[in-house]
Structure 1
């Protein structure tokens, strides 16, 4: 079954590669996603999907897949390269620089990593080799943003406005045109807020499920000392109207927060919806509305609202922590729907925006659960028996590597069958892999302490490893199960003989005898033994004491001491 899944994943990967070469990016993403479903731990598939996502402009998702590839295979350079490219496309050069640096530690001669390292280094011209804050007039998607906004879309029809934009693209610090209200509006659109709008307000809610922070206006150092004239707008101007609308929206949000705390979710939903209507560009209002849907267990609606929140947040350059919160809530909703695969996907997306201990822990727990479910789903005693019989046939034919493969598969199919470990231990013994054979014997004994074959195999392996004392104990255990077992008796005799030829082995076994331990732990006996070592003639005196003589005789029998 495992081989079939791998072949299916490989076929889907090839389809994805073909679609990617033809620049059919969404189709490629689909093929890679299907391949991942059948081969979830294949790092190459995540790397390839990361490449397709980057080509499709889905950079954050590409980072998530690159992270997964790195997690699965930390010593593989391409995962770092994929993540670096995606980060560069988001102009996150400091992070990309660190990723390329980490990749070069793994593969110092990788040309793609070297090139990425040098490229990102060139962007770090700020203080202490930091990344300078880019000009809003130099972002790659500037014209798309201006076209998307109703106000600036009209401005673009005016030739003098277009000329000013081109000038500021070339030199963003040229402030001569900043007195023009159109440029002030443009700056607000590019930075994701209205410059003339109050920036923030204080939240009093302590709810962890509800978003209580608002979008903070970003600052741009190139304009921090600029003087912005305040033109006299006509009565009922857009500026005053916007202020009033935002004020009303914030009021509705506050009412929603109060209702949410009281668990009056219908009322909270009504107020948050009113806030969204008044200011549809604020991600926080949508995040709060999604929290209500979550509490009402309307998880599909919660997911839909969060996805819209992410879309709105990206369009308006919301703080990355707010976007991370929306993505995390999608993951939690999927978790409630018992869709762990999608939950894991969105938690990884959230983590690529903002790392929090809670989400990191959830990812580890879900990943562990998914692997355990996959393992349990794979168990099939009937198939295990078939694989065991195939392994036995190869073993009898002397084809031990082939036999081991079938025993491996049998154990995966039925990991609680002690006999399978015993069979594989025999196979490992033939392959001279004694440590692995011994580990399988211990597993066999742990699963079934009454299965004599486990002890017999262990005894023979220990003899082969020249551990006769341990072999003696293994055969003793076998004889406790079946005192008439000829194999156990013969093994015990062989181990005792081998031990007799190894004084150190005898001594080790003797030290395990409680009576010997008691003698050696007796301070008076230790003093006598030290005296005997210094003066051999002192033995005669001590042997006159029957109690001491008995103890010395016991030590002599066990080989702990010798008298010459």
Structure 2
């Protein structure tokens, strides 16, 4: 028996060499002969399964691994080999697109021996399964039905009920920008402004031309007291529709709030690219320094039309003042 085991081991070595050279037929022949000489050693069955896997004969690989596990259990094989067989089965199921089965066998492998690589493969498969479940749940028709139900409840003032249906609509069709806008309106009514703002951002991420997203974002920011950002949202809406009454009124209201708060006015100005360019100009910085030390220098600089326009921009922005 010892001689047979030694000869089997030599055949395995030959098989491994052929395997690395991708000469799978020769490798399979060597592993099969080795198993004949040492029939209680599950390793050779695992080697045969590995060849089937490389030959894309995944069903054969699975069956051979199951046989190997049975053989290993009967002969008290190392639990690491049992785990390896389960992993190979899982890998075959994964190649076949049978992710649920793959998950089961990765878990079986980990129950025998916890290997980081196997845990990582399990996590990948779980992610695929979750994504497939999400995609299978998508149904634009049902999403529309949920949205209509939400709209009816919203009109009745049942904002919590409407929220539930808008959320289900989003699950059914997560790429529809309008649904996030609708839910943002609900969150606004429920004073959950942070969640409403998040939905507005998602809405505009999906469709930056959807004007209601900008309007609702402006309304929420105004409610949060961030009038500068509210102005920007209303300005974005006005770029899409210069005559939109809600955008015009919201912008005027936010503008009054900004001008009534010098610090916020300054914050708004500092976010203006034109102002940033003026303040970043070394020549303008020198002129502003001269104006601080010698107010009379302003009259000389205003004679230059280009500089006069820039100084006026800073005056309108509230960043400088003439005394």
TM-score normalised by structure 1 residue count: 0.53
Q: CA deviation at 1:530?
A: 4.4
2:15–2:30 CA contact under 8 A, matched in 1:
yes
Q: How many residues are treated as equivalent by the alignment? A: 320
Contact 2:49 / 2:60 at 8 angstroms: preserved in 1? Answer: yes
Kindly indicate whether residue 298 of structure 2 is the aligned counterpart of residue 542 of structure 1: yes
CA distance in 1, matches of 2:230, 2:69: 65
Q: Distance in 2 between matches of 1:477 and 1:258?
A: 67
Name the counterpart of 1:462. Answer: 221
Within 5 A, what are the aligned runs for 1:257-296?
257-261=16-20, 263-296=22-55
Post-superposition offset of 1:507: 1.1
- 1:388 corresponds to 2:166: no
Structure 1 gaps of 5+ residues are 1-241
Could you tell me how far 1:382 is from its partner in structure 2? 0.9
Give secondary structure in 2 for the equivalent of 1:435: helix
Shift of 1:244: 2.5
**Take 1:260 and 1:522, find their aligned partners in 2: how far apart are those partners?**
68
The one of 478, 483, 492 aligned to 2:242: 483
Q: Match of 2:296, SS?
A: helix
What SS does the corresponding residue of 1:539 show, helix, strand or coil?
coil
The answer to whether the aligner puts 1:431 opposite 2:190 as a matched pair is yes
Paired with 1:317 and 1:365, the residues of 2 have a C-alpha distance of 31
Query: Is contact 2:154-2:186 (8 Å) kept?
Result: yes
Q: How far off its partner does 1:523 sit?
A: 3.3
Cα deviation per residue 1:498-533 (whole Å; 9 max; x = unaligned)?
Answer: 212111221122223333223322334434544655
Distance 2:86 2:114 in 1: 12
Between the aligned partners of 2:258 and 2:231, the Cα distance in structure 1 is 9
Distance in 2, matches of 1:492 and 1:561, equals 24
Q: Does 1:377 align with 2:168?
A: no
Q: After the TM superposition, which parts of structure 1 deviate over 6 Å for at least 4 consecutive aligned residues?
A: none
Distance 2:76 2:177 in 1: 59
Q: Is the 8 Å Cα contact of residues 48 and 64 (structure 2) preserved in structure 1?
A: yes
TM-score scaled by structure 2?
0.89
Measured at CA, do residues 310 and 542 of structure 1 come closer, stay the same or move farther in structure 2, by a change above 3 Å? same
- In structure 2, relative to structure 1, the CA distance for the partners of 1:264 and 1:557 (3 Å cut) is closer
- CA root-mean-square deviation: 2.4
Distance 1:263 1:460 in 2: 65
- Match of residue 126 from structure 2: 367
**Distance in structure 2 (CA, Å) of the matches to 1:558 and 1:402:** 45
Secondary structure at 1:543 match in 2: helix
Given the alignment, which residue of 408, 413, 434 partners 2:172?
Answer: 413
Post-superposition offset of 1:255 = 4.3
Alignment of 1:178-189 (within 5 A): none
